[in-house]
Structure 1
Amino acid sequence: MPFYLEIIISVSLLTGGVFLLVGSYGLVRLPDIYMRLHSPTKASTLGITGVLIASMFFQSHLKGFLSIQELLITLFLFITAPVAANMIAKTALHHSNKPAEKTQNQALMDTIRDRESPPSNSIK
């Protein structure tokens, strides 16, 4: 394996590992569910992307042609992580999970929780 490829793979793995470590630390240390959503959706997604890019380079070198499976997995993660975080936040909001004192705009949480859905006949 060429030295430049080993450097690219090593840097990508180290960068991904650092992001995963920061995301895991944030998941443990942040005080409430609303703040904890940031670490798996941002830091951990970038960490997995770094590891998958390293895997893509390695597999491309072994096979002799471009390996795109890792890019498809990364695309899937970038699409699904924000949607999953949004659903978790909505569930926490509707179950009235209390935010930490430092959470900003807490008054908006009651407004969002108590709003009514639009009438079904207004959607055309």
Structure 2
Amino acid sequence: MNQVEALPLWVEVITAALLLLGSLFALLGAIGLVRLKDFFQRMHPPALASTLGAWCIALASILYFSWLKHAPLLHAWLIPILLSITVPVTTLLLARAALFRKRMAGDEVPAEVSSRPPQG
């Protein structure tokens, strides 16, 4: 039989705290998604909260499994790094698409920002 060694209390406490913190961030993002009124307000909380929650969960996983294997577990870093890269890009694309649709529908939206210098 394979013996499972006991983890030190401090590893268990930090892992549990990171898991709870990550879950709390995910819950706050979900509440923000439900409670806020329009699309533009709803984009921000889930993007930030899910990214922070993923970082906490990944850190807990890295700590726990690195301690079990007695070696650094670095491939778990890929998940939060990829999320940190893709979530802002996706959020920006969704916001621009929604703004474009509102402009085409004739709704009142902020004016376009021109990249050209003013003529004069």
Q: Answer yes or no: same fold by TM over 0.5.
A: yes
Residue in 1 that maps onto 2:96: 90
Unaligned 5+ residue runs, structure 1? 98-105, 119-124
- Residues of 2 paired with 1:87 and 1:111: CA distance? 18
Partners of 2:35 and 2:101 in 1: how far apart? Answer: 22
Deviations 1:23-55 (A, max 9, x none): 011011111110111112111110111111111
Distance 1:16 1:80 in 2: 19
> What is the identity, as a one-letter code, of the residue corresponding to 1:83?
V
User: TM-score, with normalisation over the residues of structure 1?
Assistant: 0.78
Q: Does the alignment pair 1:8 with 2:14?
A: yes
**Alpha-carbon distance between aligned partners in 2 of 1:62 and 1:24, rounded to the nearest angstrom:** 32
Identical aligned pairs, as a percentage?
36
TM-score, normalization: structure 2? Answer: 0.80
Corresponding residue number in structure 2 for 1:53 = 59
The answer for the alignment partner of 1:26 in structure 2 is: 32
Q: Which one is further off, 77-86 or 64-73?
A: 64-73
Correspondence 1:38-117 to 2 at 5 A: 38-96=44-102, 109-112=109-112
Letter in 2 for 1:71: W
Runs (4+) of structure 1 exceeding 6 A deviation are: 115-118
Deviation at 1:62, TM superposition (A): 2.0
Return the alpha-carbon distance in structure 2 between the equivalents of residues 82 and 116 of structure 1: 22
Q: Take 1:91 and 1:45, find their aligned partners in 2: how far apart are those partners?
A: 22
SS of match in other structure, 1:37? helix
